[in-house]
Structure 1
């Protein structure tokens, strides 16, 4: 007579209801204190003196110029960084060449270098006492304390975002589809637009959203290269700092509310794109499973 011995499985960490609820409670409390509370305070302080003061602050010429300069910087830096990120990810994941690891290191440099340090480095390159400063001054070309310097600094800080979103996904997808396309006679550009790009479009949009949010909120590098000239080279974060130091708290919070709204929309777009990407991966997995299963047998 055979006897079966049942072994009790050791409890997992999540099996304890008290521990699970305590952990969730701690996360919710910290999230409320560190994330939700500042957003609520920004909204309350921005409208503390009424709608008229809020609208009047946003209609101030310096505020309007700061908003326009921030938007202009984003419209230039984000597309350029998108092109760079897509090209770098495509080259790293789809081709073999010398210096691939070096290119990966170069892409990740902005993550390890302080934005302030990057701004100071640009001073030594494009400033009057810098490497190219005398040449630029001779031809009356302004890089620093002007729009080009702000765009360059913003591009440096946000350069890795698109590439780092695309590289893991494109590595996981492999090269089979691209190799099949080229073997059938498709050109490199046709392969990219017809095969590669449709498979990474959600990750690409996700990287663009993050890049745009970082460009609009960048402070450190831009504060060095812009010169903080009121009404000329102040982006929205720099304008908020000036208002705060001028004891115009309501104006500072009113301007900060714009960045807060951008942050909220960034979170919403992030969640939506993650769901779209997850749905796309699930459909792909179902298609592969159905194609691999024997005929007449349904999983």
Structure 2
């Protein structure tokens, strides 16, 4: 291990703190400052605007279902990747990282081409059976699920690998079935990884913009989420409401992180 002198260590620490400050802390602080530049007027105005309230409710609903879906499939895929060997395993692992490398706008366009009701691959058939995907809630949930998919998996897979399967094998040897083994052995050992994945997935889902804008149609009062509302209000010279809506989104994400940090048990 290479020894680093004290001045170099302090210089590296200062550089890291400055990087985080100018990239994250300062911009977020400016949003908070602008939100409360007129006291609580901006927040009151935002909550009195029915379109803003509708956008916040829609955002929470889409994020909730996206997190639920990604958690269920994320844990399942994680167990599949760690505990089993099958053809195409490496390909599946690589595909999971696609949402991290592909622009959300491209994701939205791809969903539009597949599920568009006029000339999409599946859209006309689905709409003929009473299910509209594009320009409606299902498409928004699908787009949000796609962009947040890797977050749960990439938290759970390393933990599953680290804990191994010795306890699971012991439980099975004592007569436990798959369901009992999962609920009593596997899930307790990965619960904090799942919780962190859920928090990251929630934060990502709340802030999604590009993919949702493509598939939602951005219809005010119907398919306009909070992030789309921020853009609309800012462009319409209603910056106070835009800052207030942004602050509410930031507040939810930070609150989730704080709750997890407080509840997580402290190891000696």
TM-score range, shorter chain: over 0.9
What SS class does the counterpart of residue 57 from structure 1 fall into? helix
TM-superposed CA distance for 1:27, in Å, is 2.1
Q: TM-score, normalised by structure 2?
A: 0.93
Distance 2:72 2:241 in 1: 36
Q: Which moved more, 1:257-266 or 1:217-226?
A: 257-266
Q: Which runs of 5+ in 1 are unaligned?
A: 1-9, 283-299
TM-superposed CA distance for 1:248, in Å, is 0.9
- CA spacing shift, 1:130–1:40, aligned 2, 3 Å: same
Question: Of residues 189, 193, 217 in structure 1, which corresponds to 2:183?
Answer: 193
Distance 1:131 1:209 in 2: 34
Matched pairs, number: 267
Distance 2:89 2:211 in 1: 28
1:93 aligned partner? 82
Question: Any conservation in 2 of the 1:73–1:147 contact (CA below 8 Å)?
Answer: yes
What SS class does the counterpart of residue 142 from structure 1 fall into? coil
What SS class does the counterpart of residue 219 from structure 2 fall into? coil
1:214-253 residue pairs with structure 2 within 5 A? 214-253=204-243
1:25 aligned partner? 14
What RMSD, in angstroms, separates the aligned Cα atoms of the two structures? 1.9
Q: Which moved more, 1:52-61 or 1:85-94?
A: 52-61
1:47-86 residue pairs with structure 2 within 5 A? 47-86=36-75
**Does structure 1 residue 12 correspond to structure 2 residue 3?**
yes
What SS class does the counterpart of residue 97 from structure 2 fall into? helix
Question: Of residues 149, 156, 165 in structure 1, which corresponds to 2:139?
Answer: 149
TM-superposed CA distance for 1:163, in Å, is 1.2
1:204 aligned partner? 194
Q: Kindly report structure 1 stretches of 4+ aligned residues shifted beyond 3 Å.
A: 269-273
**Does structure 1 residue 43 correspond to structure 2 residue 28?**
no
Q: TM-score, normalised by structure 1?
A: 0.84
Question: Of residues 125, 129, 137 in structure 2, which corresponds to 1:139?
Answer: 129
TM-superposed CA distance for 1:137, in Å, is 3.4
Question: Any conservation in 1 of the 2:123–2:132 contact (CA below 8 Å)?
Answer: no
Question: Of residues 245, 251, 254 in structure 2, which corresponds to 1:261?
Answer: 251
**Does structure 1 residue 179 correspond to structure 2 residue 178?**
no
Distance 2:133 2:178 in 1: 36
TM-superposed CA distance for 1:53, in Å, is 3.7
**Does structure 1 residue 161 correspond to structure 2 residue 151?**
yes
TM-superposed CA distance for 1:73, in Å, is 0.7
